[in-house]
């Protein structure tokens, strides 16, 4: 009797497992074709001297691409630039996103209008946004300099100065992406039960205490999700420098991904570009795993 | 069991969907091919040419001229021009690279002059010198043959040249009583050039515009390299095997120090507005032939002077050209077509459409506007001082790094240090081809 039951259970389990895999199959085929296969190829190419124009003549060169990467000044600068971007964008975008979410969560008039307005940059193509902001940042006729000038301040070089270019890109990126974080924070805010706030009011808590002791703990899981996704997205910085500065001036905005692109397609050094891509994946993986360890999620 | 069967069915359907999508794609593409190439008549050689998208008039010229070729060689050769590929970003080069890897390059491609060497070294394009007689080639201006050659073999022919002239605002010059030189022989030296630029710089006007707003790319190399050549320097050794002592050699350093000085003295702007010269906010400008058109449109009275010199007169050169790919089965016919697209009539007509100087001496002789100023200077430079950019397969790396060094000099960085830093990268690239 018991034996029989066990057997039915196991066949049932096996069937369920199989059906799961069958459902997974289409996705698996597509993922293998467009993600796993290219990744495996990149890994293989990273040990070769694959030159874009002579694909049939690639030879195995061992770790040479990787050893060169560690002596490559441009790679080092690109790494530094990317880290600088991430370190500033992640907290800024999280803070702005949270601020906006708190604002539009208030029961005010026109909330829907504000939500749409803050979210609209996210829907726009990053390429379009980058081109528009290049106009705004134009050192001569740009909007920002006209405003500065009319307020009596000196004109700024923005994207044409090695000291300001990256910060200008960061400001634009925060503005562009914060709407998305706002939306997720908003969803998080709406899951916090109203009774908690009522209870806090009865206990005599002021607005700041409510924010600190009710809102923030309630948003913990959402925040972890947001910080990890922004970090990964920020590491992938590419479109902004590509369109706005071509990595300049003096390489001050060249990001890791943009440098990889440049090496692969402009310099045609697919082997080295693949090595850079592999290094990039390892770096992002390590950082994401560390974050995940440090910011433990509450599983409720 | 029934359930399992159902799952299998579902998987099958899912699989079919994937297969179905891919096979339907194949069908459409093969249909597309058929549309493009209507069945060839017997013995007719059919060639394919890829061109990149430029302005409408220019593209139309290529299509018309190819049609005329087909008419003239009816029944023998026919060239199909593929729809032009939009050259935004680098999609034209990407298309060529993709076709290269897939092994279905067209018979003929258009490519930018300085890329001839890398395509030749990689055997993407083939030498064509054997298909032409010396008389046929003698009519091309030297810089076009120089640009089209690699390792002593001819790979490519172009129909148009280009140049960079020193434009000047006639009103400002008249007011200051400055006389502009009218031939390459009398070109200003750097010192004279600097003195005038400095003199004409005022609080609300720059003495010179170098179009730094074009970005860190080919323009900076194209416009900036003659400063190095004119000073007796070059980016690579004459045999093209090393950059050490050339890219960072004393002549190159001196040239970039001169550029640095122009910016340091406030004579040039690092971020000029788009129409700075055309609107009269710069007294002079080192610009391409297209600046003549935009200045004319803006209604400004301008003149042209030769490129300023140090030891020898040098000026930029080079433009898009044709080449025969090594995947073609009919090199002889392809070479014939290339000659047609770059013959006297083609070069004259293309020059009329684009405003760029023609690539043939006989074409210059027939175009009256090149006998008078300002275009006389353009012709003078194309024939007497034009130099092609370095014919090295490492050009993509070389041009990017030179452009970055040029910008670094403009921003006041240490020239010698910047150039020294870039040399190992170039050496690494060269080692690929020196093997």
Angle CA B160–B161–B162, to nearest 5? 130
Whether residue A141 is contained in a domain is answered as yes
Which residues of A sit within 8 Å Cβ distance of B? 15, 18-19, 22-23, 25-26, 29-30, 49, 51-55, 68, 72-74, 138-141, 157, 160, 162, 246-251, 262, 265-269
Query: Which tokens in the block code for residue A131?
Result: 């081109």
- A41 and A78 together in one domain: no
pLDDT at B24: 39
pLDDT at A106: 81
Determine which of B1, B8, B13, B14 to mutate to test the interface with A (most A C-beta atoms within 10 Å): B14
Of residues A53, A138, A249, nearest to B407 (C-beta) = A249
ipTM surpasses cut 0.95:
no
- A249 and A107 together in one domain: yes
DSSP state at residue B310: S
Q: Which parts of chain B have pLDDT scores under 70?
A: 1-42, 87-90
Exposure string of A223-261, with b = 16+ CB inside 10 Å and e = fewer, is bbebbbbbbebbbebebbbbbbbbbbbbbbbbbbbbbbb
Contact A267 B396 (CB under 8 A): yes
Distance CA(B110)–CA(B112), nearest Å, equals 7
Distance of CA B188 to CAs B180, B191, B228, B268, B287, Å?
9, 8, 16, 18, 16
- A39 and A95 together in one domain: no
Whether residue A51 is contained in a domain is answered as no
Residues of A in contact with B400 (CB under 8 A): 262, 266-267
Whether residue A61 is contained in a domain is answered as no
Query: Which tokens in the block code for residue A58?
Result: 């690639």
Please indicate, yes or no, whether the overall pTM of this predicted structure exceeds 0.90: no
Our count of domains for chain A comes to: 2
Query: Which tokens in the block code for residue B67?
Result: 């049609």
Q: Are A122 and A115 in contact (CB under 8 A)?
A: no
Whether residue A68 is contained in a domain is answered as no
- A41 and A81 together in one domain: no
Q: Is the pLDDT of residue A6 over 80?
A: no
Whether residue A243 is contained in a domain is answered as yes
The answer to whether residue B22 neighbours chain A at the CB level (below 8 Å) is no
Contact A248 B216 (CB under 8 A): yes
What domain range includes position A94? 74-297
pLDDT at A18: 87
Of residues A22, A55, A248, nearest to B101 (C-beta) = A55
Residues of A in contact with B10 (CB under 8 A): 22-23
What domains lie within chain B, and their CATH numbers? 45-158+320-355 (3.40.190.10), 165-316+391-432 (3.40.190.10)
pLDDT at B18: 46
Name which residue leads in pLDDT, A21 or B39.
Answer: A21
Residues of A in contact with B273 (CB under 8 A): 138, 140-141
The answer to whether residue B11 neighbours chain A at the CB level (below 8 Å) is yes
pLDDT at A93: 95
Distance CA(A280)–CA(A42), nearest Å, equals 12
- A161 and A285 together in one domain: yes
Q: Could you read off the pLDDT of B238-287 as tens digits, one per residue?
A: 999 999 999 999 999 999 999 999 999 999 999 898 899 999 999 999 99
Residues of A in contact with B272 (CB under 8 A): 140
pLDDT at B53: 79
Residues of A in contact with B428 (CB under 8 A): 68
pLDDT at A236: 92
- A39 and A102 together in one domain: no
Q: How many CB atoms lie within 10 A of CB A297?
A: 12
The answer to whether residue B404 neighbours chain A at the CB level (below 8 Å) is yes
Of residues B3, B90, B217, nearest to A246 (C-beta) = B217
Q: To the nearest whole number, what is the mean pLDDT of chain A?
A: 89
Of residues A51, A68, A141, nearest to B273 (C-beta) = A141
Q: Could you read off the pLDDT of A197-254 as tens digits, one per residue?
A: 999 999 988 889 989 899 999 998 899 889 988 999 999 999 999 999 888 788 899 9
- A38 and A155 together in one domain: no
Of residues A18, A138, A268, nearest to B396 (C-beta) = A268
Whether residue A234 is contained in a domain is answered as yes
Of residues B273, B400, B411, nearest to A250 (C-beta) = B411
Q: Are A271 and A65 in contact (CB under 8 A)?
A: yes
Q: Could you read off the pLDDT of A110-165 as tens digits, one per residue?
A: 878 888 888 888 888 899 999 999 999 988 888 999 999 999 898 888 998 899 99
Distance CA(A126)–CA(A115), nearest Å, equals 19
The answer to whether residue B151 neighbours chain A at the CB level (below 8 Å) is no
Q: Is B341 helix (H, G, I), strand (E, B) or coil?
A: helix
Q: How far is A245 from chain B (nearest CA, A)?
A: 8
Residues of A in contact with B97 (CB under 8 A): 52-53, 265, 268
- A122 and A182 together in one domain: yes
Residues of A in contact with B90 (CB under 8 A): 265-266
Contact A249 B411 (CB under 8 A): yes
The answer to whether residue B119 neighbours chain A at the CB level (below 8 Å) is yes
CATH of the domain at A260: 1.10.3720.10
- A280 and A200 together in one domain: yes
Whether residue A212 is contained in a domain is answered as yes
Whether residue A56 is contained in a domain is answered as no
- A207 and A273 together in one domain: yes
The answer to whether residue B216 neighbours chain A at the CB level (below 8 Å) is yes
The answer to whether residue B123 neighbours chain A at the CB level (below 8 Å) is yes
Q: Could you read off the pLDDT of B273-299 as tens digits, one per residue?
A: 889 999 999 999 999 999 999 999 999
Alpha carbons within 13 A on the beta-carbon side of B178? 23
Concatenated DSSP letters for chain A?
A: -HHHHHHHHHHHHHHHHHHHHHHHHHHHHHHIIIIIHHHHHHHHHTTB--BTT-GGG--B-TTHHHHHHHH-HHHHHHHHHHHHHHHHHHHHHHHHHHHHHHHHHS--TTHHHHHHHHHHHHHS-HHHHHHHHHHHH-TTT-HHHHHHHHTTPPP--GGGSTTTHHHHHHHHHHHHHHHHHHHHHHHHHHHS-HHHHHHHHHTT--HHHHIIIIIHHHTHHHHHHHHHHHHHHHHT--HHHHHHTTT-STTTT--HHHHHHIIIIIS-BHHHHHHHHHHHHHHHHHHHHHHHHHSPPP--
Contact A268 B118 (CB under 8 A): yes
Q: How far is A161 from chain B (nearest CA, A)?
A: 8
pLDDT at B26: 37
Residues of B in contact with A72 (CB under 8 A): 425
Share of chain A above pLDDT 70, in %: 96
The answer to whether residue B18 neighbours chain A at the CB level (below 8 Å) is yes
Give chain B's count of helices (H) and strands (E): 17, 11
- A91 and A193 together in one domain: yes
Of residues B8, B119, B407, nearest to A53 (C-beta) = B119
- A109 and A20 together in one domain: no
pLDDT at B215: 85
Residues of B in contact with A138 (CB under 8 A): 271, 273
Contact B270 A262 (CB under 8 A): no
pLDDT at B25: 37
Crossing angle of helices A126-137 and A165-191, in 10° steps, is: 130
The answer to whether residue B174 neighbours chain A at the CB level (below 8 Å) is no
Place of tokens 């001569």: A140
């Amino acid at each position: 009797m018991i034996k029989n039951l066990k057997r039915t259970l196991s066949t049932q389990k096996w069937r369920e497992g199989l059906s799961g895999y069958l459902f997974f199959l289409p996705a698996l085929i597509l993922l293998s074709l467009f993600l796993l296969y290219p990744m495996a190829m990149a890994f293989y190419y990273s040990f070769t001297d694959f030159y874009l124009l002579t694909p049939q003549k690639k030879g195995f060169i061992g770790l040479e691409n990787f050893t060169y990467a560690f002596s490559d000044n441009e790679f080092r600068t690109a790494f530094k630039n990317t880290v600088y971007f991430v370190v500033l964008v992640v907290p800024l975008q999280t803070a702005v996103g949270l601020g906006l979410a708190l604002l539009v969560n208030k029961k005010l008039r026109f909330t829907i209008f504000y939500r749409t307005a803050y979210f609209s940059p996210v829907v726009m193509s990053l390429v379009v946004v980058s081109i528009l902001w290049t106009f705004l940042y134009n050192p001569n006729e740009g909007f920002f300099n006209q405003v500065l000038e009319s307020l009596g301040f000196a004109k700024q070089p923005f994207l044409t100065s090695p000291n300001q270019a990256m910060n200008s890109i960061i400001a634009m990126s925060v503005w562009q992406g914060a709407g998305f974080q706002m939306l997720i924070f908003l969803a998080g805010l709406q899951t916090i039960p109203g009774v908690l706030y009522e209870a806090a009011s009865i206990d005599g808590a002021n607005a700041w205490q409510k924010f600190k002791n009710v809102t923030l703990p309630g948003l913990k899981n959402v925040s972890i999700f947001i910080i990890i996704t922004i970090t990964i997205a920020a590491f992938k910085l590419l479109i902004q420098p590509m369109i706005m500065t071509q990595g300049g001036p003096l390489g001050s905005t060249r990001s890791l991904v943009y440098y990889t692109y440049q090496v692969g397609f402009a310099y045609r050094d697919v082997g080295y570009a693949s090595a850079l891509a592999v290094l990039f994946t390892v770096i992002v993986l390590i950082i994401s795993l560390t974050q995940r360890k440090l910011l433990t999620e509450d599983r409720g | 069991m029934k359930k399992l069967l159902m799952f299998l069915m579902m998987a099958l359907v899912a699989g079919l969907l994937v297969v179905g999508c891919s096979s339907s794609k194949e069908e459409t593409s093969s249909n597309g091919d058929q549309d493009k190439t209507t069945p060839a008549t017997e013995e007719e050689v059919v060639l394919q040419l890829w061109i990149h998208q430029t302005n409408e008039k220019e593209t139309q010229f290529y299509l018309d001229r190819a049609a005329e070729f087909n008419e003239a060689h009816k029944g023998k050769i026919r060239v199909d021009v593929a729809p032009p590929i939009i050259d935004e970003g680098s999609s034209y080069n990407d298309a060529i690279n993709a076709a290269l890897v897939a092994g279905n390059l067209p018979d003929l491609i258009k490519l930018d002059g300085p890329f001839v060497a890398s395509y030749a070294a990689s055997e993407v394009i083939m030498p064509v010198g054997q298909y032409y007689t010396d008389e046929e080639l003698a009519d091309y201006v030297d810089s076009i043959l120089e640009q089209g050659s690699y390792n002593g073999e001819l790979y490519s022919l172009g129909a148009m040249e280009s140049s960079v002239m020193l434009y000047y605002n006639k009103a400002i010059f008249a007011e200051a009583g400055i006389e502009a030189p009218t031939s390459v022989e009398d070109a200003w030296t750097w010192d004279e050039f600097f003195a005038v630029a400095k003199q004409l710089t005022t609080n609300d006007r720059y003495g010179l515009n170098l179009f730094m707003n074009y970005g860190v790319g080919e323009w900076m190399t194209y416009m900036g390299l003659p400063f190095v050549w004119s000073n007796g320097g070059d980016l690579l050794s004459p045999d093209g095997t090393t950059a050490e002592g050339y890219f960072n050699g004393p002549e190159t350093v001196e040239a970039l120090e001169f550029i640095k000085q122009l910016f340091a003295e406030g004579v040039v702007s690092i971020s000029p507005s788009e129409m700075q010269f055309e609107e009269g906010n710069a007294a002079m400008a080192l610009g391409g032939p297209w600046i003549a058109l935009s200045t004319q449109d803006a209604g400004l009275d301008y003149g042209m002077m030769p490129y300023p010199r140090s030891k020898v007169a040098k000026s930029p050169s080079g433009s898009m050209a044709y080449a025969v790919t090594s995947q073609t089965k009919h090199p002889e016919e392809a070479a014939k077509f290339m000659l047609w697209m770059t013959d006297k009539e083609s070069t004259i007509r293309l020059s009329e459409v684009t405003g760029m100087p023609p690539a043939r001496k006989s074409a210059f002789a027939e175009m009256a506007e090149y006998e008078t100023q300002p275009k006389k200077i353009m012709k003078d430079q194309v024939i007497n001082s034009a130099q092609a950019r370095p014919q090295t397969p490492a050009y993509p790396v070389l041009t990017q790094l030179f452009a970055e060094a040029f910008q670094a000099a403009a921003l006041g960085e240490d020239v010698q240090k910047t150039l020294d830093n870039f040399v190992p990268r170039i050496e690494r690239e060269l080692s690929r081809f020196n093997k």
